[in-house]
Amino acid sequence: MRKKTSTIEYLAFLSAKYDVDPDKLFYSLVAAAENRRSECAELSIKQRGETQDKVMFLILKSTKVVAQLSVFKDFLSSEGHPIRDFMGSDKIQRFLVKKAKQSGDVPIRDLRIGMTQICLKAKVVEIPKPSIVYTRFGNCANVSNVLIADETGTIRLCLWNEQINSISAGDTIQIKNARTSMFRGQRQLYVGRKGLVESIDESDWQVKPLVIS
């Protein structure tokens, strides 16, 4: 028998599917519960009624109904980041990986720990002076955690040896077959032997002006 999806899991799924910040989604639900209506990016949230312990919501994108759900009032009074804390679940991560593969280039804001086969375009903001490290094979190598950005955010890109010299600050780069992991508490992007980092003509990248946050 298929396990029923919990309300918080469903809200995390909506956050991932519609590119809505999970914290903003949570606060928009709280606002709609208090004011009967709120806006969250492209989504509209309407309060449709309440019982002693639940609030009913209707969520729309334009005129299309996205979801109808009931949320416990105790959940709406939660502290911290109740929806964001669920975004790392295996189910949500699998959905994000599938979404990334279907959509081609992935915005930096949508990168999650454990994603693989990532493709994206970004600007090179900073190339720190390479550090010398010793690999597990006893070899000496240069490594630099390059800061890259697109219109949605920034992330560090770990480059090795000749990869570092293949790009310059200010370049627009295409990254293919990369993966994400956690390093010192932050997301980091890696490109393995089967991956690619190359500078491209900026005119080939039709996006909005860069915003670094």
Query: pTM of this prediction?
Result: 0.52
Tell me, what's the pLDDT at 187?
87
Does 143 score more than 50 pLDDT? Answer: yes
Residue 63 has pLDDT above 70, yes or no: yes
The predicted model gives 148-177 an average pLDDT of 89
Burial of 135 (0-12, 13-18, 19+ CB in 10 A): exposed
Instruction: Tell me the C-alpha distance between 163 and 202, whole Å.
Output: 19
pLDDT in tens, 95-130: 776 766 665 678 888 888 888 888 888 999 999 998
pLDDT in tens, 164-200: 888 889 899 989 888 888 888 888 999 877 788 888 8
Greater model confidence, 138 or 131:
131
What span, in angstroms and rounded, lies between the C-alpha atoms of 174 and 197?
A: 6
What is the identity of the amino acid at 155? I
pLDDT of 160 strictly over 70? yes
Distance CA 144, CA 162 (A): 11
Q: d(Cα 154, Cα 169) in Å, to the nearest integer?
A: 14
Backbone dihedral angles phi then psi of residue 84, each to the nearest 5 degrees: -60, -40
Pick the CATH number of 105-204 from 2.40.50.60, 2.40.50.140, 3.30.70.560, 3.30.565.10: 2.40.50.140
Structure tokens given for 163: 């990869």
The answer to whether the beta carbons of residues 111 and 189 sit under 8 Å apart is: yes
Q: What is the model's pLDDT at position 210?
A: 39
**Residue ranges, CATH 2.40.50.140, the chain:** 105-204
**What's the chain's average pLDDT?**
84
Q: Quick check: 199 and 173 in contact, CB under 8 A?
A: yes
